[in-house]
Amino acid sequence: MDEIDKGSRTLGLPIAFHGTVIHSRRLNELEILENCFLLVDKAGKIQTLQAGVDPNEINSIISDLGYTPDVFPIKYLQRGQFLCPGFVDTHNHAPQWTQRGIGRGKTLMEWLNNVTFAHEAKFADAEYAKRTYSSCVSGFLRHGITTASYYGSLHGEATQILADICLEKGQRALVGKCNMNRNSPEWYRDASVEDSLHQTQELIQHIQTIDPDNKLVRPIITPRFAISCEPDLLSGLGSLAKEHPDTPIQTHFNEAKGEMMLTKELFPQFRNEVELYKSYELLTDRTILAHCIYLEEEEIEALRELRCGVAHCPISNTTMDFFMAAPIREYLRRGIKVGLGTDSGGGHSASMLDSMRQAFVVSIARQDATDGQDPALSMAEGFYLATLGGAQVCGLDEKIGNFAVGKEFDALEVHCDDNLGIMTPVEDDDSISTIFEKWIMTGDDRNIAKVYVCGRSVKV
């Protein structure tokens, strides 16, 4: 623990930094602030963000803010080091932490039936859940994921354990019990509609008990996808969402051709998936729709009108049996909220840096397929999707996503100056934006020296 941790955690003091700060103001506006003084109050909120500050001026700034100088430590970041917002992973399956990388090249339905369901079934064992979720949450924190929207397994108890672990380790999280009562083996499906709804309600109550103000953890209603849910279950979840108007909803949406065909067979009364989920009142401004690959024009328009968010998961979209390139540029053009997801373990990587890189690759494929109509994502846009865009999708952009004064300090302290022989080395004449680009494209978690959530240092 360094001085900053001692100050923030044991003494209830502010923490402060001086150096380079990088964050997104808007989709295309990456702000790089040099010689910046950033102060986080003892509640974990950003109290001041001021660029171009000479270190000699710091004591007077501190006095003006009403603090006594020299009472709390200030961390001076060196060249090659910077602060940036923590990553927001908008789509993540916690029980798949231990199956990442398995089953490449299968269709979605083959992968679910032959790899995933058997694996998730292990979470009936609470001890296994504790062990695995503990490793999962620590692992994602190490990768700088300060907020994750998690699908649990179908088990109520294991999913409560996941919420407990997020809170204990200090990760901001949306945690959902996966609702699924059909089209999976008998040994891995909810016993009944009532049981599935009851366990979901219990999870909502449990999170209300452990984190009454949803400071870090909140429940999320999680129908796996329509194929897994009988109509009564979808209706019940729609009613639950109405009873809990602040509770977000997540599902898989227009992910793969096989999935879409099977959905049409099961629900012939609906023209498309928007019509389906809308009819069960599951499309709201708090809904996170993973993938969104093959939407019809009226579906895209509906997402905009209903203010649903898109969790773009470019790694899993290009790891199964097709290269599936979601029309992200079109969503952004229409002002639809978009964030990035690891989709761990359909996606093989736990790293949002990898997600960003694959988002660049997929966006070039779209640029090609549209003869340049949908230009590829820029560096600034990719970073926005991984931070502020994700915060919008999760309904948390008032609280996190960048370093606007008043927001909570969810941040990464990135060190590109230690030459570990992995990241492209920093050279004397590199600009800060070059150093940043080198990290985004070639760095990894070894460059993430510290991770903060609401001012608390959480990387172990």
For ligand GUN, the closer of residues 156 and 346 by Cβ is 346
Please report how close the Cβ of residue 345 comes to ligand GUN at its closest, in angstroms.
8
Please report how close the Cβ of residue 123 comes to ligand GUN at its closest, in angstroms.
13
Residue among 211, 343, 397, 445 that touches Fe ion (CB under 5 A) = 343
Scanning residues 40 to 99, which ones bind ligand GUN (CB under 6 A)?
93
Please report how close the Cβ of residue 148 comes to ligand GUN at its closest, in angstroms.
15
Instruction: Find, among 20, 16, 75, the residue nearest to 41 by Cα.
Output: 16
Cα gap 263→203, rounded to integer Å:
28
Cα gap 66→32, rounded to integer Å:
27
- Residue 410 touches which of Fe ion, ligand GUN, none (Cβ within 5-8 Å per kind): none
Residue among 112, 315, 391, 396 that touches ligand GUN (CB under 6 A) = 112
Task: Please report how the helices 156-169 and 193-210 are oriented relative to each other, as an axis angle in degrees rounded to 10.
Answer: 20
Cα gap 313→340, rounded to integer Å:
6
Instruction: Find, among 151, 242, 250, 162, the residue nearest to 210 by Cα.
Output: 162
Please report how close the Cβ of residue 161 comes to ligand GUN at its closest, in angstroms.
19
Please report how close the Cβ of residue 215 comes to Fe ion at its closest, in angstroms.
26
Please report how close the Cβ of residue 10 comes to ligand GUN at its closest, in angstroms.
41
Residue range at the interface with Fe ion (CB under 5 A); choices 259-267, 341-349, 359-367, 433-441: 341-349
Does residue 108 bind ligand GUN (CB under 6 A)? yes
Residue range at the interface with Fe ion (CB under 5 A); choices 74-82, 135-143, 273-281, 340-348: 340-348
Cα gap 11→72, rounded to integer Å:
9
Residue range at the interface with ligand GUN (CB under 6 A); choices 10-18, 108-116, 125-133, 160-168: 108-116
- Residue 250 touches which of Fe ion, ligand GUN, none (Cβ within 5-8 Å per kind): none
Residue range at the interface with Fe ion (CB under 5 A); choices 165-173, 338-346, 372-380, 395-403: 338-346
**130 secondary structure, DSSP code:** H
Is residue 299 classed as helix, strand or coil in its secondary structure? Answer: helix
Instruction: Find, among 277, 269, 332, 307, the residue nearest to 28 by Cα.
Output: 332
241 alpha-carbon distance from chain centroid: 21
Residue among 224, 407, 415, 459 that touches ligand GUN (CB under 6 A) = 224
- Residue 319 touches which of ligand GUN, Fe ion, none (Cβ within 5-8 Å per kind): none
Q: List own/partner pairs for 230-233 with CB under 8 A and 24 or more apart.
A: 230/181, 230/182, 230/193, 231/267, 231/280, 232/193, 233/179, 233/181, 233/190, 233/193, 233/196, 233/197
Strands 287-291 and 249-253: parallel
Residue among 82, 123, 150, 225 that touches ligand GUN (CB under 6 A) = 225
Q: Which run of H or of E encompasses 314?
A: helix 314-317
Find the DSSP H helices in 31-125.
58-64, 108-111, 117-120
Question: Residue of minimal CB distance from ligand GUN?
Answer: 346
For Fe ion, the closer of residues 90 and 363 by Cβ is 90
Please report how close the Cβ of residue 227 comes to ligand GUN at its closest, in angstroms.
7
For ligand GUN, the closer of residues 108 and 137 by Cβ is 108
For Fe ion, the closer of residues 23 and 100 by Cβ is 100
Site track for ligand GUN across 242-261, x = CB under 6 A: ----------x--x------
Cα gap 70→185, rounded to integer Å:
63
Instruction: Find, among 392, 406, 408, 391, the residue nearest to 454 by Cα.
Output: 408
Site track for ligand GUN across 300-339, x = CB under 6 A: ----------------x-----------------------
Cα gap 410→144, rounded to integer Å:
10
Which positions lie near ligand GUN, rule CB under 6 A?
Answer: 93, 108, 112, 116, 224-225, 252, 255, 316, 343, 346
Which positions lie near Fe ion, rule CB under 5 A?
Answer: 343
